[in-house]
Chain A
């Protein structure tokens, strides 16, 4: 039963109030993209054992999507942050590094 802080409304929200949305920071490929690009965008997912950047929606709360940096092995949540980002902001990277110095970084 995870608990994540919604960065919009500040609520420590129970998992039951949230909806998981899978990998964050996907780049959309539309018409004009190659088959490979499109397949990667639609189906290929990071599935790390460790630090993962993912999307959540505070669906039974403020309704906003947000991002979380979470560990899939320990379930530790390093940070939650705005969904309106194309990659994890530096302070989020720093928060992960602080707890997890041997982490290879966002790629």
Chain B
């Protein structure tokens, strides 16, 4: 792989950029791989990357029914934070956040990780107590957060109206090292690195069946034919239930639409990510200048990647109230993605009832921020055949035992 650098750009400029090589190859599938990963989104590609990097497993195919990074990786609001309350969540999201810090260098692809800080507003006494509690837990979990005063909030975000009147800002949970990244670049950077390790990324290849013998997986049927494998990793969002059904098991999960929108680009006016859970909205500003805005999920099963307008209305209403100067700005585009929401709204990583078949799904509204941590944990699970410490508590068995990982305690809104 030829390295990217300012020097490489200068060299290519001399020949009008006609010498750049493909970022990733587009191979035909082989007959058999050590590991087949279904889903070339951020999570699938990260799983492949860490299988290669941490375990030296490179005879890997990542198959994708659409185009790589084209699911929720490419349609989220790019927030990266790890200020979670429960231990297993804090562990995996903090792992992810720390991997984001060095991702551009690790992948030699600038993913524009921007540790600009994430602020979660407390607008009721109850929320204050929840976030103060989270700050205490985070301190012991090695996640640096603090509960800050309304004055500090105003200092960090001068355009915010902290006086309400309906929901005055009473403080905020602040994670200075959280932030955003360029979502597409994460998928593309991983894809380039995986391709460079000799892995096959096969796009426009849909899985139509899961092959098994004696309770163990042996391969998949795809629109490009049969592909055999020793191990199968299902790492898809929006379609996990569908895929699980092919493999003969069900998941404690439902698929719903989550919407987001952006404004027209304006000069920088907000330097941090603000999340306001009481009023249901969150906002940051992209490097292009667009305000990136999101809210809650729709309340019904849906695969259309379209949502209902009243959620957009609710979110925008909340943000106009919180940031009065945006009233005369305009919504440029709204879109939707399909998220898989589990029984406790936390993800599932681990073994399945089918031998040598592993699953990573159910990230709900929090998938992007976890990508490297999720890939790291999933790679370990696939390589060793057993979940490691990062993944152990996210197994399917928790629903039988009643051992939930419930984050709704700290956050009432999707993000």
Contact = CB atoms under 8 A, between A and B. Distances in A.
B308 A47 contact: no
Contact of B242 (A42, A45, A47): A47
Given A16-B310, A39-B399, A47 B304 contact: no
B400 A44 contact: no
Interface string B283-309: 000000000000000111111100011
A14 B395 CA distance: 39
Nearest to B307: A1
Interface string A45-62: 101110010100000000
Counting contact residues on chain A (CB < 8 A from B), the size range is 20 to 34
Contacts of B303: 49, 72-73
B254 A15 contact: no
B310 A39 contact: no
A35 interface: yes
B302 A75 contact: yes
Interface residues of B, number: 23
Contacts of A23: 254
A43 B242 contact: no
A45 B300 contact: no
Contact of A54 (B239, B255, B301, B400): B301
B304 A73 contact: yes
Contact of B308 (A15, A19, A45, A54): A15
Given A15-B308, A22-B254, A43 B343 contact: yes
30 contacts: A1-B308, A1-B309, A15-B310, A16-B310, A19-B299, A20-B298, A20-B300, A36-B400, A39-B252, A39-B399, A40-B250, A42-B343, A43-B343, A44-B250, A45-B250, A45-B252, A45-B254, A47-B255, A48-B301, A49-B242, A49-B303, A52-B301, A70-B300, A72-B255, A72-B301, A72-B302, A73-B303, A73-B304, A75-B302, A75-B304
Interface of A: 1-2, 15-16, 19-20, 22-23, 35-36, 39-40, 42-45, 47-49, 52, 54, 70, 72-75
Given A39-B252, A47-B301, 15 more contacts: A1-B308, A2-B308, A15-B308, A20-B298, A43-B343, A44-B252, A47-B241, A47-B254, A47-B255, A48-B301, A54-B300, A54-B301, A70-B300, A72-B255, A75-B304
Interface of B: 239, 241-242, 250-255, 298-304, 308-310, 342-343, 399-400
